[in-house]
Structure 1
Amino acid sequence: MAVVEQLPCYRGRPVTLFTDLYQLTMMYGQYQAGQHRQRVVFDLFYRKNPSQNGYVIAAGLEQVVWYLQNLRFGSEEIDYLRQLRMFDESFLDELRRFRFTGDLFAVPEGTIVFPHEPLLRVEGPIFEVQLVESALMSFINHQSLIATKAQRVVDAAQSGGKRGPVIEMGLRRAQNMDAAVFGARAAYIGGCVATSNVLAGQSFGIPVAGTQGHAWIQSFPSELEAFRAYYRAFPDNTVLLVDTYDVLRSGVPNAITVAKEMEKDGRQLRGIRIDSGDLAYLSKRARAMLDAAGLTYVEIVASSDLDEWTIRDLIMQEARIDSWGVGTHLITSYDHPALGCVYKLAAQEENGRLVPRIKVSENAEKVTNPGKKKVLRLLVDGIASADLIALDDEQFNPAEPLELFDPVHTYKRKVIQNYEIQELLVPVVVGGELVYELPSLAAIREHVVMGLSQFSSEVKRHVNPHIYHVDLSDKLWNLKQHLLRQWRPHAR
């Protein structure tokens, strides 16, 4: 854990009261009732894919681990809670001794996941497991959402045979510092090659990128002087912003002048950036002008409120853009700003054993899957065929045929044979101790690429993707139906 604690964006962070008040009121009620040591299992999952996507990229686990390992009630927190006049001193004394001693199983960051399957399974005393709900949801909700949005943008930038890299440039449009820093981390997981956010770069080792803004150009007597000054400052990494005044009549001609001067010095202009106007038209004209001047090596970078749809359209229009700077629409997941994870009780201790629990709702989608569960990915010839949510003690033999069925429309069935099983939930914290080696961001990015390679293009398409099946095992489905039948006669 020392590596996580040393990161600049974590230093001095108060985390213990990063919770909703009702977590504390429930803990107090459980303490007063003598139930606070009762062991429980909670699942964290989401119900709907964002941004019309067919899947989500799980992210945020590193922050979950950091949070659980640093969860302590100090004097400041205790004094504040005392001032609320809601809790007695014996409860506050209990909080002073608080440590997370439970178990956390999670899908590794970068895993491709789907609605209703647990991304985290948390087990331990209800006093502990209840408190962490809101923080865990916040970490997983946000980063999984941004990583997924980033992957959509990156995928669009590589459509039509292109290989245009994407730079995350959303710091100034993010809701706050945490959203910007952790959003940049998630965007890098999703496939962006760099960020403009220097704190994110320092904290996570993400490559940083940036040139100049329009104010730089305006602060000089002329655009040409501004370009020359920037070249003198950064002779080995000169990218010039060409749309402050007029892209084609001023910006590009002045950039060509500086590029020719650089060639005389034995250097090359790296690129130009266009941040406004008709990017398809301007990039094609700019490319023609650069090529005519013998500057075929100069790249064109585009920004200006881009998202996956705009990028895809620009590529279809044969825009001559080599790389993309994407800000607002990525860092805020502008079209779908919340993932909507939930955290639900799945099992509770009774007489020394865990008993399955179910939440029932008029909305069938909100009926939970009971019991302590695992998630299995079933691959046939290396391609993911379905995910299976099963009870944790179930065993499956890949050498034997397995019949899968839709948990709602049960007549929809298929049989798979000679399949490979990948167990998605892995132990991360056991008995309060970290047992998992946190991977590097580079390894997480590779995990995303590997995971996506296991799915058909139909699942990955941006519009009306194929619905990937997440099924229940026979045993889990029967348990769920049994609990539903038990519940109905007692409904009031």
Structure 2
Amino acid sequence: MDADNWALVTDLYELTMANGFKEKLGEEEGVFDIFFRKMPDDGSFVVLAGLEQAVEELKNFHFEKEDIEYLKGLNLFSDDFIEYLADFKFSCRVWAVPEGTPIFPREPVMTIQGPLIQAQLFETLLLSIINHETLIATKARRITAAAKGRGVMEFGARRAQGPSSATYGARAAVIGGASSTSNLLAAKKFGIPAAGTMAHSWIEAFDSEYDAFRAWADIYPDNCSLLADTYDVLESGVPNAIKIFNELKAEGHGNFGIRIDSGDVTKLAEAAREMMDEAGFPNAKITISNALDENIIQSLLEQGAPIDNFGVGEKMITSSSSPVLSGVYKLSAVIKGDKLIPKIKVSESKGKLTLPGIKQTYRLIDNKSGKAFADIITLRDEDLPSELTAFKADPLATKQKGHLANFTAVPLQKEAMDGTEVKIDLPNVFEIQKFSKSQLDLLPHSTKRLLNADEYPVFITPKLYEVQQELVSKFADQ
């Protein structure tokens, strides 16, 4: 996962195209955008994540000697191209939206400009990073929103698609609102609090449940959270936990709790809460786990289940209800000498129409309410007027135009890299989480609903629309 040579985490055609660009297009530059078309879980936005890892991988991008020998052995590439890869030096410029920002369909989240031979190489690697981490951050946002301020612990390492997904997924989950992780490597690497209780094997290894609880309390008297459902939550688990809490209280210790991992959680949590309150432990916490997601959590809380914390595993770390985020990496312009030539993808699927040119996205804040009400994508070199009639970015939108006025425009993309020089701050994961919450607070509540979220309007300027339509007309008959 921390290997320096991720250059071969790519599809073969990235290298065959780059080889061809070197032979046929020389020093021409390309401009590529990463953006999303479809939002997971029928939501209206994603929470962007993965920029820090993307920047690190671009900065360290290179081919090992063994990689070069392998590529030679494929007999697909020219000697000049092989030499170019052997002495690879990253020289692209990168613009990106900060991690934690809510992003809507078709908005460029990362723009890469540089020699076509280079910029083409990064498609697979960057998409694998941005798609994965954004997907998990978005799922975590939904889950933590459902928890309504209660702690959400990320417990998914054993169900993740490999150690790298487990570790970077835990980071993304914290960006989306999780408070801690059970994954020690993620905790160490990203400064996340480590959390966890015990497994059923601890209970089963002792002669009795009480003996298991007592042994745990001896070792961890000031952080004693006991798994109460190995045998019977109400007849055994909670009564034995209360015995241990009484013993620890007499010894001067505190910070008690139980975890329930199975059964009718609402019924069990209500009864456990009553039993612990009557025993004099109203502050003992109840944590639940076991295949939770936003829908289950929302249902439990609507039923009045007295739950303090949620341990969420597989359904967050894999975003199991919507496990794929289909972000794309599309050429939007080429540069020949001093001339920028906008490029477009036109296909029979109108929804796949792309936005040409080098662009900027602005979040429009209503000057009266202080809330965001729309985004607009512009050509980067155009001035955004204070009032305009704009076009929907979605070519399938029923209502194509909207009038925009009385707003403050906040640019989203910032210069991130100039060659290997990193131009942006890379804040820690909880600073990103705080930033993300502030950006989410700007959005209309209706766009953040977990079910039947309203569409948030994304527009393009008349100038960008004109360039797009000229290219559509140009290539329509080809």
SS at match of 1:116: coil
* 1:363 corresponding residue in structure 2: 349
Structure-2 change in CA distance of 1:458 and 1:314 (3 Å): same
Alignment of 1:303-314 (within 5 A): 303-314=289-300
CA displacement 1:208-242 (0-9 Å, x = unmatched): 10111000000011100100100111111010000
SS at match of 1:156: helix
Aligned to 2:426: 438
Q: Which residue of 2 aligns with 1:480?
A: 468
1:445/1:218 CA distance change after superposition, 3 Å? same
Partner AA of 2:84 in structure 1: E
Matches within 5 A, 1:16-31: 16-31=7-22
What residue number does 2:411 align with? 423
2:109 corresponds, among 87, 110, 119, to 119
Q: Which residue of 2 aligns with 1:109?
A: 99
Query: TM-score, normalised on structure 1?
Result: 0.94
Correspondence for 1:451: 439
* Aligned counterparts of 2:262 and 2:399: Cα–Cα separation in 1: 54
Matching residue's letter, 1:445? Q
Paired residues of 1:406 and 1:412 also in contact (CA < 8 A): yes
Please tell me whether the aligned partners of residues 40 and 354 of structure 1 are also in contact (alpha carbons under 8 angstroms). no
Find the partner of 2:274 among 282, 285, 288: 288
**Corresponding position: 1:238 with 2:224:** yes
TM-superposed CA distance for 1:411, in Å, is 5.1
Which residue of 378, 381, 390 corresponds with 1:404? 390
Asked if the contact 1:101–1:433 (Cα under 8 Å) also holds between the matched residues in 2, the reply is no
The C-alpha deviation readout for 1:379-435, integer Å capped at 9, x for no partner, is 1032111111111111124xx322233344585544333311110010000244211
Is 1:71 the counterpart of 2:61? The answer is yes
- Closer, same or farther in 2 for the Cα pair 1:482/1:175, shift >3 Å? same
Match of 1:170 in 2: 156
User: Which residue of structure 2 lines up, in the alignment, with residue 224 of structure 1?
Assistant: 210
Q: Matches of residues 65-464 of structure 1 in structure 2 within 5 Å?
A: 65-158=55-148, 163-380=149-366, 381-397=369-385, 400-407=386-393, 408=395, 409=397, 412-464=400-452
RMSD over aligned CA atoms reads 1.3
- Greater mean deviation of Cα atoms: 123-132 or 425-434: 425-434
Residues 108-132 of structure 1 deviation map (CA, whole Å, 9 limit, x = unaligned): 0001101111010110000110001
SS in 2 for 1:229: helix
Residues 135-168 of structure 1: per-residue CA shift (max 9 Å, x gap): 010110000000000010000010xxxx311000
How many angstroms apart in 1 are the aligned matches of 2:456 and 2:430?
Answer: 27
SS across alignment from 1:129? helix
Supply the distance in 1 between the matched residues of 2:116 and 2:404 (Cα, whole angstroms): 39
Q: Separation in 2 of the partners of 1:227 and 1:15?
A: 46
Query: Would you say the 8 A contact 2:91–2:419 is kept in 1?
Result: yes
Q: Is the CA contact (8 Å cut-off) linking 1:27 and 1:36 kept in structure 2? A: no
Distance 1:89 1:412, change over 3 A: closer
Give, in angstroms, the shift of residue 271 of structure 1.
Answer: 0.5
SS of the aligned residue for 1:132 comes to helix
- Matched-pair contact (CA < 8 Å) for 1:259–1:269: no
SS in 2 for 1:212: coil
Alpha-carbon distance in structure 2 between the residues aligned to 1:286 and 1:151: 29
Contact 2:94–2:417, Cα closer than 8 Å, also in 1: yes
Taking the aligned partners of 1:36 and 1:243, their CA distance within structure 2 comes to 67
Amino acid at match of 1:401: E
Deviation, 1:291, is: 0.9
Task: Report SS of the residue matched to 1:420.
Answer: strand
Matched-pair contact (CA < 8 Å) for 2:4–2:60:
no
Q: Is the 8 A contact 1:217 1:227 kept in 2?
A: yes
Structure 1 Cα separation of the partners of residues 260 and 387 of structure 2: 57
Deviation at 1:447, TM superposition (A): 1.0
Aligned letter for 1:100?
F
**SS in structure 1 of the partner of residue 131 of structure 2:** helix
Structure 2: distance between partners of 1:252 and 1:23: 58
Q: For the residues of structure 1 that align with 2:104 and 2:134, how far apart are their CA atoms?
A: 11
CA distance in 2, matches of 1:417, 1:348: 33
CA distance in 2, matches of 1:36, 1:125: 9
Q: What residue identity is the alignment partner of 2:28?
A: Q
In 2: Cα distance, 1:16 partner to 1:291 partner: 57
Query: 5+ unaligned residues in a row in structure 1: which ranges?
Result: 1-8
Partner of 2:7, secondary structure, is: coil
1:448 aligned partner, one-letter code: S
Counterpart-to-counterpart distance in 1, 2:57 and 2:448 = 32
Does residue 15 (structure 1) correspond to residue 6 (structure 2)? The answer is yes
Q: Which amino acid aligns with 1:73?
A: F
Contact preservation (8 Å) 1:41, 1:345: yes
| Alpha-carbon distance in structure 2 between the residues aligned to 1:264 and 1:150 | 39
Question: Match for residue 468 of structure 1?
Answer: 456
